């Protein structure tokens, strides 16, 4: 019986680019998986400048455009690191039918009790934050 392979979409955190997945990409490819490592706006090789990004929507536009371009029947495994967790959360909200599973790798996970900015403030001001590796089915 052939092993099932998946399409992984890798979303980096702030101050990174698709390059940060350089060790993971060949490992997953060697197992037969498809990989798409995206550069968010103004990151990696994306040509947008930081001063051109005025919102979170601008920042994650490459992810949202990629998800929109997927065929309706294709399901991907979203992987978000750090601030990439916010992006994959929004992608799950907009494209639930295109997502097989989401993996948060020491990533921000939004909640319904406090706005996303609360997480950033807690990290910046030194509150004790514990990050988890979580898989959502």
In angstroms, what CA-CA distances link 100 with 42, 76, 88, 136? 28, 5, 12, 9
- 117 — pLDDT class (breaks 50, 70, 90): low
**Residue scoring higher pLDDT (134 or 48):** 48
Place of tokens 């060949």: 26
How many beta carbons lie within 10 A of that of residue 36, not counting itself?
15
Q: How many CA atoms lie within 13 A of 15 on its CB side?
A: 1
- SS3 state at 93: helix
pLDDT for 119 equals 59
- 123 — pLDDT class (breaks 50, 70, 90): low
pLDDT tens per residue across span 18-67: 999 999 999 999 999 999 999 999 888 887 888 888 888 888 999 999 99
How many beta carbons lie within 10 A of that of residue 32, not counting itself?
11
The domain segmentation of the chain, as residue ranges, is: 7-109
Q: Which architecture characterizes domain 7-109 according to CATH?
A: 3-Layer(aba) Sandwich (3.40)
């Amino acid at each position: 019986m052939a092993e099932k392979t998946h399409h992984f979409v890798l979303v980096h955190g702030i101050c990174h680019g698709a390059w940060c997945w350089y060790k993971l990409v060949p490992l997953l490819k060697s197992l037969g998986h498809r990989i798409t490592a995206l550069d968010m706006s103004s990151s990696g090789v994306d040509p947008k400048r930081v001063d051109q990004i005025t919102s979170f929507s601008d920042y994650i536009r490459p992810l949202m455009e990629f998800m929109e371009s997927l065929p309706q029947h294709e399901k991907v495994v979203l992987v978000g690191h750090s601030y990439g967790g916010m992006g994959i959360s929004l992608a799950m909200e907009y494209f639930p039918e295109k997502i097989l599973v989401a993996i948060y790798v020491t990533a921000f996970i939004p909640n319904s009790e406090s706005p996303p900015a609360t997480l950033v403030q807690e990290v910046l001001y030194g509150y004790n934050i514990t990050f988890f590796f979580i898989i959502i089915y």
